Amino acid sequence: MTEIKHRSVPVNGITLNIAEAGEGPLVVLLHGFPESSYSYRHQLTALAEAGYHAVAPDQRGYPRSEHPASVDDYSILHLVGDVVGLIGALGAPDAVVVGHDWGSPVAWNTALFRPDLVRGVVSLSVPFQPRGDIAPLDGVRAAFGEKFYQIYFQEPGVAEKELEGDTAAMFTKMFYWYSGDSPQVQNLITDENGMTGSLALPEELPSWFTAEDIAAYTAEFGEEGFTGALNWYRNIDRNWELTTAWAGARITVPAMFLGGAKDPVVNWFDPATLELAMSPAVENLASFGLVEGAGHWIQQERPDETNAALIAFARSVDR
């Protein structure tokens, strides 16, 4: 079995922990919320065995990596800067950049800002969304109301209280109810108990998510909490202001999208027309797929399908 190793790397003025395996062309795997490099445990080994240097950083504000104190230090420019710095620190000329959940906007914007460093870009779960005409939080308020989870995450200390309470129960509920095993697709609307407090604990865990996985995530976040991760959300409107210069810009590098048909994020859009909707802003959408029965945590729920798609795409853009 291929070994996953960890080490610290100085990047963009901070220190990031990375999980890595294998040798060869670089593939950078960017996790989402509330996850870590652990979410790519299946992909790191599969990519390594396929001949790639697979690297999953714990991104800024997440366990084992540095947590800058200021909310302003979590803008999209900082996050993309970390990826650019990591590619350089690893001595690679370029990388296939893969993102899931929050990692997807970072991957998309790395391809948008620095296409010279990106052989190909992959998004798991989150389509590319061109910069709109109104501030994003105004847009989600109009579409979903004040109880949408992104609004709930804005006030410092509020979401932290929920997430840092019974963290093991929170992870159990989060991963179950937003997966394809959930009996219904969640709407991402909070209530008086927050995002997960009113959800029931599942009677049994799905086969892809074990008690050991819950323990791993709980241990990671138990020491450092969630403020750094939540600060990404607290820059949503600021990111829109900072990216004015890229209004109308398009993704030009080869791109891949893979999502779950039961993913709440995919279902914000019309899944039937999503590929067509992405195509004007993503010039070379070389691979598009929706996995029936899968939810939001696609690389953990369906590792075999995800690994096969990633390896095929990486090989298609090898230089």
d(CA 277, CA 283): 12
To the query of whether residue 101 is one of the catalytic residues in this protein, the response is yes
Active-site residue (options: 31, 78, 100, 296): 296
Positive or negative: CA dihedral 150, 156, 161, 167: positive
* Measured distance CA(225)–CA(143) in Å, rounded: 30
Alpha-carbon span 221 to 38, nearest angstrom: 12
Q: Longest Cα pair distance anywhere in the chain, in angstroms?
A: 52
How many whole angstroms separate alpha carbon 19 and alpha carbon 88?
A: 16
CB atoms within 10 A of CB 138: 12
Is 296 one of the catalytic residues? yes
Between the two ends of the chain, the Cα-to-Cα distance in Å is: 28
As a whole number of angstroms, the distance between CA 136 and CA 133 comes to 9
* Edge-to-edge strand list for the sheet holding 118-124: 5-11, 14-21, 53-58, 26-30, 95-100, 118-124, 255-260, 285-291
Q: Which of 101, 181, 213, 263 is catalytic?
A: 101
- Phi and psi for 103 in degrees, rounded to 5? -65, -25
User: Which active-site residues does the annotation give?
Assistant: 101, 296
